């Protein structure tokens, strides 16, 4: 195995990005090397997403392309992640060039699989929860990804994740703290906590609660920043609001998916909250932290969403004024509860609703960003901006900023005056300069 070159291609959510970072670590520890391109690799790993049909279609195109490349050499192809879990029995039938199918709870098996010739090629056991060691962001070596709770037991009626990632399980808090300390020794400054629903952390195991975990991480010397994703509105406690407000290292940003503001649709989605409750969380967050950045996910075109329901969501987007929203059109996923519901909207009607909501949110995003102009922020430096017009960083409200100071280095945390806005990106200046 020593010396073989691997290439990891990652689709989907932050959890996949973090799992790919972990995979990279285990492969490098085994003596493999990272390939600079797909075409030069001996082993390709494609870490996949199934959340919407469009994600799967893109993947299927890629798998066909890998199969082409494989005709000319000894390439080994691994399909891992949610699509691997969901389509386990079909992948090799459709793409015979694929060598191994490894599901979401079998990542730690990969080093064994590449070591020994095996008769098996599908590894999709869901029974045993895995401990995925925290890893370092491949794009910023000063950031550690820590998945604190894996899987999901919420069963929102449209969502495939509980089926592809299995029931939620929290990782032991003592181990998490020890592992973060190890990452700090390796130089990380920012801890990025991940989970499909971080608020549920510890509830399954009787461990400490999420806000207490934040307190403990905040006390670790060397950790300078803490971020986390994703929060579910059903169990967003006041203690958590207080922790976000009072803990100095916690970035003042919350990703709180709304999905819909119609109580009828929320109930059909099995979201377990109504709009009034959602709005009260937003109010409480803003009461405690007036500038807090609140981001969301919106899903339009759920079966049965009529014009009135859609307008409720549209009005809520205007009322709440999110800092940013990820907006999607409903995509039926086989095996989920809503799959059997008859779709009441045509593709064009769904597209039209999505377009409307994107248009209004884009305007709001710009307006909301303006409140930061003239303020000061600490900024965590990421890298030189792709268009080469400055250095890219993240503010203490979790927002993107470009600084015109090219001498700033990745991982530095610097104080900045925010001066203007370009598109959806703040522009600032290092105040030391």
Q: Which residues bind ligand SF4 (CB under 6 A)?
A: 152, 154-156, 159, 161-162, 196-197, 232
Binding ligand 5AD (rule: CB under 6 A), the pick from 159, 223, 391, 401 is 159
Closer residue to ligand SF4 (CB): 69 or 203: 203
The helices-and-strands tally (H runs, E runs) of the chain is 13, 19
Binding ligand 5AD (rule: CB under 6 A), the pick from 22, 123, 330, 372 is 330
Binding ligand 5AD (rule: CB under 6 A), the pick from 183, 299, 316, 408 is 299
Binding ligand 5AD (rule: CB under 6 A), the pick from 259, 260, 293, 377 is 259
Residue 197 binding: pick among ligand 5AD, ligand SF4, none (C-beta 5-8 Å cut-off by kind): ligand SF4
Shortest separation between residue 253's beta carbon and ligand 5AD, angstroms: 16
H helical segments located in 95-220 = 110-115, 161-165, 173-185, 210-218
Shortest separation between residue 31's beta carbon and ligand 5AD, angstroms: 36
Closer residue to ligand SF4 (CB): 168 or 430: 168
- The answer to the question of residue 328 lying near ligand 5AD (CB under 6 A) is yes
Mapping DSSP onto H, E and C, the string for 373-418 reads: CCCEEEEEEEEECCCCCCEEEEECCCCEEEECCCCCCCCCEEEEEE
Closer residue to ligand 5AD (CB): 6 or 273: 273
Distance of alpha carbon 6 from alpha carbon 77, whole angstroms:
10
Q: Which stretch binds ligand 5AD (CB under 6 A): 57-65, 86-94, 323-331, 414-422?
A: 323-331
Binding ligand 5AD (rule: CB under 6 A), the pick from 331, 362, 378, 412 is 331
Distance of alpha carbon 116 from alpha carbon 31, whole angstroms:
15
Closer residue to ligand 5AD (CB): 159 or 403: 159
Distance of alpha carbon 111 from alpha carbon 100, whole angstroms:
12
- The residue count for the chain: 433
Query: Counting Cβ atoms within 10 Å, is residue 69 exposed (0-12), middle (13-18) or buried (19+)?
Result: middle
Shortest separation between residue 240's beta carbon and ligand 5AD, angstroms: 19
Q: DSSP readout, 262-324?
A: -HHHHHHTT-S--HHHHHHHHHHHHHH-TT-EEEEEEEE--TT--HHHHHHHHHHHHHH--SE
Distance of alpha carbon 342 from alpha carbon 153, whole angstroms:
25
- The answer to the question of residue 255 lying near ligand 5AD (CB under 6 A) is no
Phi and psi, residue 299, nearest 5°: -120, 110
Shortest separation between residue 42's beta carbon and ligand 5AD, angstroms: 33
Phi and psi, residue 244, nearest 5°: -60, -40
- The answer to the question of residue 83 lying near ligand 5AD (CB under 6 A) is no
Shortest separation between residue 347's beta carbon and ligand 5AD, angstroms: 13
Residues within the interface to ligand 5AD (CB under 6 A):
51-52, 158-159, 257, 259, 297, 299, 328, 330-331, 333
């Amino acid at each position: 195995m020593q010396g073989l070159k691997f290439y990891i291609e990652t689709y989907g959510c932050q959890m996949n990005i973090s799992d790919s970072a972990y995979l990279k670590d285990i492969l490098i520890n085994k003596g493999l090397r990272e390939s600079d391109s797909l075409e030069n690799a001996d082993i390709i790993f494609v870490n996949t997403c199934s959340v919407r049909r469009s994600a799967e279609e893109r993947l299927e195109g890629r798998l066909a392309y890998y199969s082409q490349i494989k005709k000319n050499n000894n390439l080994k192809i691994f399909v891992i992640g949610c699509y691997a879990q969901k389509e386990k029995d079909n992948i090799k039938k459709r793409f015979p060039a694929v060598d191994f199918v490894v599901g979401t709870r079998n990542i730690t098996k990969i080093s064994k699989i590449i070591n020994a010739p095996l008769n098996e090629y599908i590894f999709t056991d869901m029974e045993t929860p895995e401990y995925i060691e925290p890893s370092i962001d491949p794009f910023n070596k000063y950031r550690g990804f820590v998945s604190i709770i894996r899987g999901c037991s919420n069963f929102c009626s449209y969502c495939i994740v509980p089926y592809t990632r299995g029931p939620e399980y929290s990782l032991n808090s003592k181990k998490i703290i020890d592992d973060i300390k190890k990452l700090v020794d390796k130089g990380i400054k920012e801890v990025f906590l991940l989970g499909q629903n971080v608020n549920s952390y510890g509830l399954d195991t009787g461990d400490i609660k999420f806000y207490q975990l934040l307190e403990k991480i905040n006390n670790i010397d060397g950790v300078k920043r803490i971020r986390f994703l994703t929060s579910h509105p059903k169990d967003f406690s006041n203690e958590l609001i207080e922790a976000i407000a009072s803990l100095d290292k916690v970035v003042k940003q919350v990703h709180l998916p709304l999905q819909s503001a119609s109580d009828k649709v929320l109930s059909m989605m099995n979201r377990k909250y109504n709009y009034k409750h959602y709005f009260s969380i937003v109010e409480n967050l803003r009461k405690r932290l007036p500038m807090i950045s609140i981001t969301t996910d919106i899903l339009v075109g759920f079966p049965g969403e009529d014009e009135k329901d859609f307008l409720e969501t549209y009005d809520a987007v205007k009322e709440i004024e999110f800092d940013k929203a990820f907006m999607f059109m409903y995509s039926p996923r086989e095996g989920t509860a809503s799959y059997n519901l008859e779709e009441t909207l045509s593709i064009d009607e769904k597209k039209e609703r999505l377009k409307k909501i994107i248009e209004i949110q884009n305007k709001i995003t710009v307006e909301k960003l303006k409140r930061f102009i003239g303020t000061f922020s600490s900024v965590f430096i990421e890298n030189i901006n792709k268009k080469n017009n400055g250095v890219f960083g993240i503010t203490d409200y979790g927002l993107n900023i470009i600084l015109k100071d090219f001498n700033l280095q990745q991982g530095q945390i610097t104080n900045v005056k925010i001066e203007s806005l370009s598109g959806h990106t703040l522009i600032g200046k290092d105040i030391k300069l």
